[in-house]
Structure formats: structure tokens, C-alpha cells
Amino acid sequence: MKYLKRGVNTLRKCKYTIVGLDCADCARKIQASLSHDKHFDKVFVNFSTSKISFETDYESDIEKKANHIIQSVEPEAHILDSKSNNYDFTIYNLLRIIIATALLISTYFVGNNTYTKVAVIIAYVLLIVRVSINAIKQLFHFTIDENFLITVSCIGAYAINEYMEGAMVLILYEIGKILENRAINHSRKSISHLMDIKPDYANLANGQKVSPSDVQIDDVIVVKIGEKIPLDGVIIEGSSSLDTSSLTGESKPINVTKDDYVLSGSINQSGLLKIKVTSNYDDSTVNKVLKMVEEATERKAKTETFVSKLSKIYTPIVIALALLVAIFLPYIIDISYEGSIYRALSFLVIACPCAIVISVPLSYFSGIGSLSKKGILIKGSNYLDALKDIREFVFDKTGTLTDGHFTVTNVTTLSEDKDTFISYLLMGEKLSNHPLALAILDHYQSKEISLSDVSAYEELAGYGIKYTTNGKVVKVGNAKLVGYQEKEGIGTHIYVSVDDVILGYVTLNDTIKKSAKELVKALKKRGLMVSMFTGDNTDIAKNVALELGIDDYYGAMLPQDKYQKLEEKINKGHKVAFVGDGVNDAPVLARADVGLSLGLSGSSAAIETSDVVILTDDLLKINYAIDTSYFTSKVIKQNLTFAFIVKILVLILSVLGISTMWQAVFADVGVTIITILNTLRILKH
């Protein structure tokens, strides 16, 4: 492990935009080069978003030092800051191509051999300067890439007097790189547009306009009509309708008024709002969403990892095969060495792995970006890929399949009078945020309760609450907590015992979500197994399962019971996903092959441990996420299949002497652009 110097200041965390990055393999090399420097740690270069992040112990000129290393690997790439040289390399490259092309064309009209030789040499130098410099720098890092292949091919073509074909290869290659860069940037802009939810400023109540990161908790901000809400908070004045589509994917506006909690990233549509800030920008919903999406590509799918590893050995293998063609082809067919060398050079050109290396990470990030627009956050391309392989979905019941909005439907006393029973009940629930506790408190909101005598308060996950008052030990929770035989019937029962004497119980009922039945039907139509875990009694579990069409259900489960049962299912050998929202779901969400949490109603623990976060309570978005997983995988397979077939076909044709060098480079660049354009379909899926 690398240990960086720590002085008075801690390590600096730096994050920049990196421009001129048009190759996924280059991103990998830049990351590796920076990581090898003792002053850089936790380096990550994200090709899909053109972002670079790292920790460093440098105290000044960090951009200059980082750029020095970056440009030793990729000369045209650099991190972007206020001091960066933002010169457009596209204009420079176009000028080179135009001048070189004009010189080559002029040789057809000037019959002077000396002029022709000088014009061709100048044209070659103009065209080959970029790729040759890149190739040489890569060789210093013991790396052979496409720049080396093109350089060798064109110098070889000149050596065997096929200089016009070599020049044509360089011209087509350079034009192709410009078009490829445009296509990649278009893809990045499309993804960025999907996630354009970051607020630019915040209006403080005193009239100041500041950066959202400068706003403190409990500050009051003003949000005008048409502005984005910059930070999470509670409305203290005003009412409006909010467009939350950029966060949740829901097109229907949400009406809000005083005391309502609002999320950053929402757009104020109809009224002036004064909001008391409840979290700083780093902890705000909009920043968490952006951070999840941006960091998603750090967790790579197996396909992406395989392609990355393949690219390291692909080029050396291609060079070895080209040498075999050049040396041994004259022994197999009637051809001169000059002819076999030409075919080997064509072989090198078509073998460039751009289409394969670029299309896979862009496909996954397009899928993640598309889902983010729908309010579905995927924490890594590996999880997006894994969704298509899930064979069983296991659901928590309360708050997941049901609304979690309980209502008290009955009160049964077994000892003491009803008022005494309710007092003990409310003293326990008053300090809890559990949905059942909130429902009970809402039902008895007019009743005054004093907590002055409450002590030794303790919440027992999966059981209930325990506290002491006036020397008496009170338990409020399920039948297991109070040691009572569970009552039969519909509903959830909350029991109260004082010094182990049962005083009675309240019955609460919940309603099933409208989207739950549709989702279960959709999953079963896919041939997937659907199960349900719940801490409620078996009768309630049975009734909910029957209504939803779930065959496999388990009731009266504690958190450890859920974990053990999930472990059993996973050990059967098929991929299992768990969907939940509560604190007691965190262990199973973490253990599942894919854990999905419902973000708006879900606890922070569930969101942190899950792999997929649904920002609304619409369960059908799970089916949409599965569709996107399948479609992304389909596009990747199309891209890889198309790229490999075209390359193998043209490789064979070049060896047979049917395909020329300029046709080979046209096929290589064309394949790359086509695969990038095909990838953009994911954003519109």
C-alpha cells in the first residue's frame, strides 16, 4: 500500500475535468501512470465522464505536475482549470490534414520528381507527427498501441514505395479520429444532459446569491419560480408545485406547502418558497445522486474488465501475427516479400482495437445515465449487468410491497383501563421513528404525553421498544418481545407489557401498493421466482402473498432470520435480488447479489448498503431497470460482434490481397463510429 507524506495538512482530494481524452485505453494508461507516482493516491480516470480524481500531498502547482504525467502518456490530454491552455486541437489537426492533402494532390499536376519527393515528405511529416510522437511516448512506458500500428504501417508503406496509400491511411485515420472524438463528445453531452440537475447558486434570505456549498444547515434560502431548489430542506413559507422529473423520472408535478420536506434538484414551478436548510450540499439529495452516477463506473462489469485486460495483450498478438504474414506468406502463395509486407501492414491497420475498447464502457455508462433520468440509481456497471442474471426477487413487505402507511383499526385491553394502556403505549412510541410508531402517534395526536419519567429507553431491531418509568419496565412491540401468543387475524399487533404483565394490544393495517401486483405479474412473466420476507405474523404474510400472487413467503422473521433464509436461497446456486427499505433490511440488502432499496421512503442505512436505489415508491421501475440491463447487454453484444466480424473479415481480405490499406483504416474508423452511434440508442431506450 502507498503511504503519502502527511504534514500539518491532510491529503488534498482533487477532482478535475480532463479534456482531449478520446480513448478508454488512454484513460487506463493515464490512471496507471499517475498511480505509479508516489505523490498520487486513489487515482481514478473516468473515460465516460472525462473526469479525473485523486488524493495528493502536493501543496501547490498540482495541475502542472499532474499534466506533466498525463501528457507523457497522452500529449493532447490535460486537466482543465482556470490556467489550462484550452486550445482546440481539432482546428490544428484539420489544418495539418488540409495542407498535407493539398501537397499530395499537387504532385499529380507538377511533373517534377524532386518536387514530388519533397511534397510527399512534407505531407508525411505533417500527417504522421501526432501518431508517431504518441507512439514513441507509449514505447517509453513499455506500451504498444494503435499509434504504433499506424506509424509502422505508414512508414512501411513509404519504404516499399506505396507512399500514396500510406498517406491515404494517415489522412483517413486523422479524419476518423476527429469524427470519433465528436461522436464520443456527443455521447458524453447526451449523458451530461440527462444528469443536468446540479443547482448553480442559492439565494439566501438576506438577498445574497452564493454557491450551494457555502450554505449552512438552518440557513433560510429563497427559491423563485423557475429556479432549482439548491439544498434539501423544509418549507417555512409559501406553496408551489415542484417538477421532480430530473430526480425521480416522474413527470407529474408535486404540490408542496408549509412544513413539507423538499429535495434539492427539484424545479420550483409556481410560487415563491422560503426553505430552512436541513443538510449541507455534500449530504444533499442532488449531490448524492450526481456522486452515485459519476462513481458508478468505478465498479466495472465482467465484460468491461475482460475487454480492458484483452486490450493489453491484443496489440502485441496482432504485431506477432503481422510478422508471421510478412515472413512466411511468400512460402505459402506466389507473392514477393514486398507484397507480403504490404499485406502485413494492412493487417496492422485493421487490427486497431478502438471500437472494442470504447463501446463497452460507453454502453454501460449510457445505461446508468438513462436509468438515472428515470429516478433509478445504479452504483456500478457490474450491478447493471447483474440485473439481467437475477433468477429470484425477494421482497420485504412493510414499506416495500405495502404503502407503510398504517392506521390503527382496533384497541384491545387485557389488564388495566384503556387510558393507562394508551399512556404506556405512547410513552414508548413518542421517541421512535418507526412507521408503526408514527402511525400510532398520528392516531392519538390530540393526547398529551409527558416523557419526564421515561429512562433507559432502548429500540430492539425486529422486536420493538423497551423503557423504564417510575421503576417499572415497559415493553412495546411484537408478541416475541412481550412473550405472548400471537393473536390470529388480519393486521399487525403491537403489544404493551409492564413488568411482564400484558396490558393489551393495538391492531394496525396497511395497504398494498398499486404497483406491487403489476410488478409481481411482470416478474413471473419473465419466468423469475418471487418471494416475500416479513416480520409480521404468518396470517398477514399469507394474505398479502395471496393477493399479490406470491407463492413463497415467510412471516414472523427477525433480521437474522431474513439473512439466514436469503443465504439459503443464494447457496442454491442462482442469483438473488432483495428489495427493501428499512434499517433491519440493511444486512440482507448487502448480502444479496443485487440489493435494491426504495430511496424516498427508505432509511439511509438501506440506501447506503443497497446496489440500486429507486428514488420513488414505484415498484414498476424495477422492471424498467431489468429491461435496461437486457438492452445494454444486447447493444454491447451487437457492438462486439459487429466489430470482431468486420475486423476478422477485413483481416482475411488484407492477407489475401483483396483489401488495401486505406480500405482497412476506413473499416476500422467506420466500425468505431458505428458502434458509438449504436451505443447512443441506450439513452433513448
Residues belonging to the active site: 396
Q: CA 27, CA 539: separation in Å to the nearest integer? A: 56
Alpha carbon separation from 682 to 68, 289, 612, 679 (Å, rounded): 36, 20, 18, 6
Say what angle helices 146-159 and 661-679 make with each other, to 10 degrees: 160
542-576 residues labelled b (16+ CB within 10 A) or e (exposed): ebbbeebebeebbbbbbbebbbebbeebbeeeebb
Residues 167, 120: contact at Cβ < 8 Å? Answer: yes
Are 621 and 614 in contact by the 8 Å Cβ rule? The answer is: yes
3-state secondary structure of 90: helix
Distance, in Å, from the CA atom of 76 to the CA atom of 71, rounded to the nearest integer, reads 7
| Biggest alpha carbon–alpha carbon distance for the chain | 116
Q: Alpha-carbon distance 477 to 86, whole Å?
A: 64
- 454-460 β-sheet, strand order: 407-413, 501-509, 492-498, 472-477, 464-469, 454-460
> Which amino acid is residue 265, in one-letter code?
G
Kind of pairing between the strands at 273-277 and 220-223 = antiparallel
DSSP state of 297: G
DSSP states of 510-572 as a string? --B-HHHHHHHHHHHHTT-EEEEE-SS-HHHHHHHHHHHT--EEE-S--HHHHHHHHHHHHHT
**Alpha carbon distance 460, 481 (integer Å):** 9
- CB distance 295 to 51 below 8 Å: no
Alpha-carbon distance of 477 to 536, in angstroms, equals: 11
CA 679 to chain centre: 16
CA separation for the pair 384, 296 (Å, rounded): 10
What is the Cα–Cα distance from 217 to 405, expressed in whole angstroms? 29
Backbone angles phi, psi at 336, to 5 degrees: -80, 165
Q: E-assigned strands of 569-663?
A: 576-580, 594-598, 612-614
* 97-99-103-109 Cα dihedral, nearest 10 degrees: 110
* 362: CB partners within 8 A, 6+ apart: 24, 47, 48, 184, 187, 676, 679
Query: What b/e readout covers 577-606, taking b as 16+ CB neighbours within 10 angstroms?
Result: bbbbbbbbbbbbbbbbbbbbbbbbbbbebb
Using CA atoms in the order 559, 563, 568, 572, what is the torsion angle rounded to 10 degrees?
A: 140
**Residue listed under C-alpha cell 405472548:** 484
Burial bucket for residue 149 (CB in 10 Å: 0-12, 13-18, 19+): buried
- How many whole angstroms separate alpha carbon 216 and alpha carbon 227? 19
C-alpha cell belonging to residue 172: 483517413
> Of 394, 371, 384, 301, which Cα lies nearest the Cα of 624?
371
